[in-house]
Chain A
């Protein structure tokens, strides 16, 4: 979905390096999420933000940090990358509307930590 963009799309880095993955959205949604996906598995939630001043840890936040710079931007950082953080990372957004929670996903960032 072009409304949610992620940069970079692919990144190879070395153990111990600091990495930032960026997510931008033009959907005007308040809520943004970061997930990681390992091969053959579902998505696991890392962090989520319901507005600029609200940041919450997800299921697997250890080793990650986030920054919500604006309504449209949500960045994920790996302060000191390690090989088991090699995965596919997805950003998603959703509206505040009632009745369920449809999320719109970006194209993903494939991160390899050597």
Chain B
């Protein structure tokens, strides 16, 4: 499994764009990059997933450079309710393979 590295914590203010970068130097050819969000005492919630280039949904954008050794989760115009822990996971849907949740990035959005 590809190991991921992301900042332990980040602070932002309401209305700003937040970019959280994840490093995954050992990503394999068939691995996907997935981001989850977790609020206190709740289960993680899927945000976005991608394989290469850029993916955008109603919640976030995911930027993946050509070498795929890193990825950036972009949250546009954050609000206080975006305060959560964000996890970057790398893996593939294959029998016996699983995602590994590291400590994540604790995002605090300030008023």
Contacts and interface: CB of A to CB of B under 8 A. Distances in A.
A8 B32 CA distance: 33
Given A35-B101, A101-B32, A103-B99, A90 B43 contact: yes
Per DSSP, chain B at the interface is loop
- Interface band, chain A: 20 to 34
B34 A100 contact: yes
A43 B101 contact: yes
A104 B46 contact: yes
Interface in B11-56: 32, 34, 41-46, 49, 51
Contacts of B46: 102-104
B42 A101 contact: no
Interface of B: 32, 34, 41-46, 49, 51, 87, 91-93, 95-104
